[in-house]
Amino acid sequence: MKISLDVDKCCGAGQCVLAAPDVFDQRDEDGIVVLLDENPPAEQLGQVREAAAVCPAAVIEVQE
Amino acid sequence: MNRPESVTVVGASAAGLGVVETLRREGYEGDLTLVGGEPHLPYDRPPLSKQLLSGAWDVGRLTLRQPEALQELDVDMRLGVPAVGLDTAKRAVLLGDGERVGYEALVVATGASARRLPGTEGVRGVHVLRNLEDAQELKAALARRPRLVIVGSGFVGAEAAAVARELGCEVTMVTDVAVPLGDALGAEIGGMLADVHREHGVRIEPGVMVEGVLADGARQVRGVQLADGRTIEADVVLVGIGAGANTGWLKGSSVPVGNGVECDATLYAGDGVWAAGDVASWVHPGTGRRTRIEHRTNAAEQGLAVGRNILAGPGEAKPFAPVPYVWSDQYDLKVQIYGSTRGADEVRIVEGGLGERRLVALYGQGGRVCGAAGINMVRVLRAHRRSVADAVPWEPEAALVGGER
Ligand SMILES: Cc1cc2nc3c(=O)[nH]c(=O)nc-3n(C[C@H](O)[C@H](O)[C@H](O)COP(=O)(O)OP(=O)(O)OC[C@H]3O[C@@H](n4cnc5c(N)ncnc54)[C@H](O)[C@@H]3O)c2cc1C
């Protein structure tokens, strides 16, 4: 799995962190997304796809 | 589990897109049709009053999915054609071009429309802000640095005020509430936000209704008429007085409509019809209250929930029990809210403070935490989400984390 982020569009909602806490975090100062793991293990796929789906700014793209 | 052979989704925005993507992601192979009244590929609305209005982003950045990604979904997309009627007995949607689209399951995801002030039809210079064209027209109008009057002090109006000031317009905000944004955040924090707007040069006229607009002989707006007899001159008026659910096309069908499509706790409205997003009203299992939410994340989450529930079938469908979330960007402030803060009987700042303009506040109702709001304290706020989700008792939660004002 490969994750790419369009960080400029991030609005700091943190929905990705709630959906996939091992893969995403937020910067302290402004809440912008931080990718903890660019190639997470396959068992994370469900969570990562959910993070992409609920992101309110269409920041996250997942390739399997 | 018996999956429907065909699913039709009406409304091609955040919620509708969420439904079709979820269905395909979860392996649904039946016929999918997505009907959208706007001629555009699905685009995002929150930037309309922020980055698009300010000019920071061009239109292309609002596109929710690239055309290739949409193509892969294998969805029959009917864009630029509104649904104008629904025959629930024959299970068919009537389109504006006279075509009928059948379905076994239907999702109503038609969102909401901006409310207008009576008597403003056809008056030039009076704007609302709901779709792409609205935003582009307002942007063009603001480029002339007009005297702008904003009617209403909700998030959309407040965001537009911030952008308009940054663009150098003269801005007056007129609102019938005592404290702008006070209904969502409480008088104290709303008051702080009002101060920020004033410091940036926004003139605020609180506690007064706007009765209508004043237009000249050429039907060009010249100002607004207030209920207390005063008038305020304006070259441009933005009406930001909320939105109403787009349910007109459901008239005459069996779909129950009140303030939105009235669904059960699983977002099901009966007769094969589901609803998601701004148009949906459902009974939140946590509060037991009928709720309709106009938040971006709610649209995505309800789209996800409805997609899954369609595949599970009405009998097996799961109740939708979210912690609502909304944000707003004004100047350099990020406002974020979890849960519901409106109607709270207690508010306490538990982190940061008003003076710093960085804070987290808890909201309580009936002795339990019902909401949490943050200003420029993103991660700290997220740590309080749990208390909202669990509706923990107000004491000791609010007392434990004693913040300095
Ligand atoms: C200017 C603005 C700023 C916002 N900012 C924020 C923010 O900062 N944070 C936040 O959480 N939320 C924000 N929101 C709210 C958020 O954008 C909405 O909650 C979200 O767009 C709802 O998605 P939806 O798919 O339910 O409805 P909509 O986005 O309203 O989409 C409904 C779609 O259905 C179409 N439609 C309507 N009737 C028909 C018909 N009869 N036939 C076919 N198609 C039809 C409409 O044209 C539209 O394309 C903002 C909204 C606006 C307008």
| Residue nearest to ligand 1 atom 18, measured at CA | B296
Other C-beta atoms lying within 10 Å of the C-beta of residue B246: 23
Examine the domain organization and report whether B186 and B236 are in the same domain: yes
Residues B176 and B267 both lie in one domain: no
Nearest residue, CB atoms, B44 vs list A12, A14, A57: A57
CATH of the domain at B22: 3.50.50.60
**Whether B236 and B190 share a structural domain:** yes
**CATH class given for the domain over A2-63:** alpha beta
Please report the pLDDT score of residue B314 as a whole number: 79
Predicted confidence (pLDDT) per residue in A5-55, tens digit: 999 999 999 999 999 999 999 998 899 999 999 899 999 999 999 999 999
Whether B246 is in the pocket of ligand 1, judged by its Cβ within 6 Å, is yes
Contacts of B314-321 with CB under 8 Å at 24 or more apart are B314/B266, B314/B268, B316/B1, B317/B266, B317/B267, B317/B268, B318/B266, B319/B265, B319/B266, B319/B285, B320/B265, B320/B266, B320/B267, B320/B282, B320/B284, B320/B285, B321/B265, B321/B284, B321/B285, B321/B286
pLDDT tens figures, B226-251? 999 999 999 999 999 999 999 999 99
The pLDDT of residue B207 is 96
CB B147 within 8 A of CB B233: yes
pLDDT at B324: 97
Contact predicate B137/B125, CB 8 Å: no
In a domain, B301, yes or no: yes
pLDDT string in tens for chain B (405-residue length): 579 999 999 999 999 999 999 999 999 999 999 999 999 999 999 999 999 999 999 999 999 999 999 999 999 999 999 999 999 999 999 999 999 999 999 999 999 999 999 999 999 999 999 999 999 999 999 999 999 999 999 999 999 999 999 999 999 999 999 998 888 899 999 999 999 999 999 999 999 999 999 999 999 999 999 999 999 999 999 999 999 999 999 999 999 999 999 999 999 999 999 999 999 999 999 989 999 999 999 999 999 999 999 999 878 999 999 999 999 999 999 999 999 999 899 999 999 999 999 999 999 999 999 999 999 999 999 999 999 999 999 987 776 554 433
- Which of B241, B275, B293 is the last residue before a domain boundary? B241
Q: Are residues B368 and B300 in the same domain?
A: no
One domain for residues B298 and B253? yes
> Do B18 and B100 fall into the same domain?
yes
DSSP string covering A5-27: E-GGG-----HHHHH-TTTEEE-
pLDDT at B363 (0 to 100): 97
How many structural domains does chain B have? 3
Chain B positions touching A15 (Cβ under 8 A) are: 297, 300, 325
Same domain, B73 and B189: no
Residue in chain B closest to A63 (alpha carbons) equals B69
pLDDT in tens, B301-331: 999 999 999 999 878 999 999 999 999 999 9
Residue B213 lies in a domain: yes
Residue indicated by tokens 């303030």: B259
Cβ of A56 within 8 Å of Cβ of B64? The answer is: no
pLDDT confidence of residue B181? 83
The parent domain of residue B395 ranges over: 332-399
B181 and B101 housed in the same domain: no
pLDDT of residue B401: 57
CA of B16 to the centre of ligand 1 (A): 10
pTM, to two decimals = 0.96
* Residue boundaries of the structural domains of chain A: 2-63
Residues B171 and B184 in one domain: yes
Name the residue with the closest Cα to ligand 1, atom 16. Answer: B296
